[in-house]
Chains A and B, each alone.
Chain A
Amino acid sequence: MSAVAGPRRRRPVATPVKDLQCVAASLVAVTVAGAALVTGTWWGAAPVPAGAGAALIDAGRFAGLLAGYVALLQVLLRARLPVVERGLGTDSINKTHYLLGGYLIALIIGHAALVTAGYAAAAGVPAPRELVTLVGSYPYLWWAVIAACLLTGIVISSLPPARRRLLHEVWHGLHLLVYAALALAFFHQVTVGEHFRHHAVLRAAWTALFAGAAAAVIVFRVLRPIYLSIRHRLVVGSVVHETANIVSIRIAGRNLDRLHASPGQYFRWRFLTPGAWHLAHPYSLSEEPGGQSLRITVRIGGPHTSMLTRLRPGTRVVAEGPCGGLVAAAGWAGPVTLIAGGVGITPLRALFATASCAEGSISLIYRAHETADIIFRSELEHIAAQRGGKAHFLAGGRDDPRNDLSASSLTRLCPQLPLSRVFVCGPPGYTNAIRASLDSLGIPGRRVRSESFHL
């Protein structure tokens, strides 16, 4: 693909502009095609129910099939598939996952309610009694009921009021039960599901889809990180304080270019020391990934991050990724603008040095709470000088008029912004405010890539 690709670089790290846009569009197209296939299965693969309650039963079956399909999408969205990570980006993945979570519960409840009401009408008994009969008559229906309750509980635990009250570890542990729930629910789909129990081929296809999703999760979230850790001998190289509460950790290893990480991406890092080995946290690469080492930069906030300051060189590291869609496309010949909030500078620092753009047309706007919180200042100034770009440093809160990030202030700092490809990284409030400003400038969404981090 690329003339400069050497023998060791089997794939160019940067993806051409067009490809990156195509990936997102193809993912959407595949999803829609899948939904159409599910609809076709519902329409054609089972006898149309007849008699009283038939329409309810039919609608319930459709909702059930869709629920299975959405559950599959949810798992694949979270499987850290490289194509999904690069194509959609973490913010889109998170938003879609959150939206589909609520949608899935609505479909499951609709499925259960409609099927029960339909059979109750067919048998001429009240719905609650019919529900008891159904659960008693069909194999694996109990399992499905348990699964529905689990999934509902997990969705409730993810709503902001509950999420705020739960420890991250507790919430995450609950969320992992999703896999158990989906496994429980799977059995009633293929043994009772009208569209699968009479059709060996459809049943096999449905089973293959679920097995494939399970395999993707196991491969990309468990086996591959372990394999990469061993293959690349990933260990902590050194820990350096950038400021009082921001540290950079250098990860050493070999042949790290073969991790195929792009500047702007992140890994979920797991440090194998007592008390931390069970946690994996996302930290961006704060430097273009090299062959011998990677650098991540972390703001020290909670108990986990303060542990990071005490990491000993040589500690084994397991990395899940690369993740994230802050990926600069190769071959972009227009201007590039990077807008960072706080420690959101980390991925943009790597992009500042590498993002392809027109000669001398890269600029960076970087706001931190205080001047003392600004990190990489000399590195950034050095890169700006080298690339003929501009770095603007702003210090202070968002209420400070000098730090106003409205469309007009942004364009004053960076006149070429309306024509730019824009990368934004910061806390959610910051990225949302910037995105609103960019929208008001009429910059199309496909030219903007943003990612938020949660402290």
Chain B
Amino acid sequence: MRRLVLLVSGTAIAIAVAVTIRPHPNAAAPHSTTGSPRPTVRATSPPPATPRAYHSGTATGLVAHTDYGGVQVRVTVSHGRIVNVTALQLPHGNQMDVRLSEPAARMLEREVTSAQSAQVDTVSGATYTSQGYLQSLQSALDRLS
């Protein structure tokens, strides 16, 4: 019994130490819940001046490969403004991926259309999906510039 207690507590300490020294990205970042609706900024406040003018049209981005699967988006630009971003492909390995990535994609679309660029913050809790999303978006925007 004494040996078991030693073994279990030793392992608990080892795991705690290992988790602490392993670098955690955004570990301190406040969590933003993935599904909560935010007021849409598009209609109310005019966007800041676009840093780059895009041609009007629709472009499909490259597939960004993340650890959880491929991410691909299509962007529509009208009169120099990003009006729509649609996710064509998101991680869907299991229901947890879907649960995390779909709300994240909706949120990113709102952020991108309001910022009018792919330079927005990633969604915490769906970091990898966000990075893939923004990468694919940038490649699509590059085609329209």
Which residues of A are at the interface with B, using a C-beta cutoff of 8 A? 39, 42-43, 46-55, 58-59, 62-63, 66, 99, 102-103, 106-107, 110, 121-124, 134, 137-139, 191-192, 197-198
Contacts and interface: CB of A to CB of B under 8 A. Distances in A.
Contacts of A53: 31
Interface stretch (B22-30, B41-49, B52-60, B113-121): B22-30
29 contacts: A46-B67, A47-B127, A47-B128, A48-B22, A48-B23, A50-B127, A51-B26, A51-B29, A52-B125, A55-B20, A58-B19, A58-B24, A59-B15, A59-B16, A62-B18, A62-B19, A63-B11, A99-B4, A103-B8, A106-B4, A106-B11, A107-B11, A124-B33, A137-B95, A137-B96, A138-B96, A139-B94, A198-B67, A198-B68
A39 B124 contact: no
Interface residues of B, number: 32
A99 B3 CA distance: 8
B99 interface: yes
B23 to A, nearest CB: 7
B67 A47 contact: yes
Contact of A124 (B4, B11, B31, B93): B31
A58 B96 CA distance: 16
Contacts of A49: 24
Contacts of A102: 4, 8
Contacts of A103: 4, 7-8, 11
B12 interface: yes
Interface of B: 3-4, 7-8, 11-12, 15-16, 18-20, 22-27, 29-31, 33, 67-68, 93-96, 99, 124-125, 127-128
B24 A48 contact: yes
Contacts of B125: 50-52, 122
A52 B32 CA distance: 9
B10 to A, nearest CB: 10
Contacts of B31: 51-53, 121-122, 124
Contacts of A123: 33
A99 B11 CA distance: 14
A121 B12 CA distance: 20
B24 A50 contact: yes
Nearest to B23: A48
B94 A51 contact: no
Contacts of A197: 93
A50 B27 contact: yes
A54 to B, nearest CB: 5
A421 to B, nearest CB: 26
Contacts of A139: 94
Given A51-B125, A52-B125, 6 more contacts: A42-B18, A51-B26, A51-B27, A59-B15, A63-B11, A99-B3
A62 B29 CA distance: 23
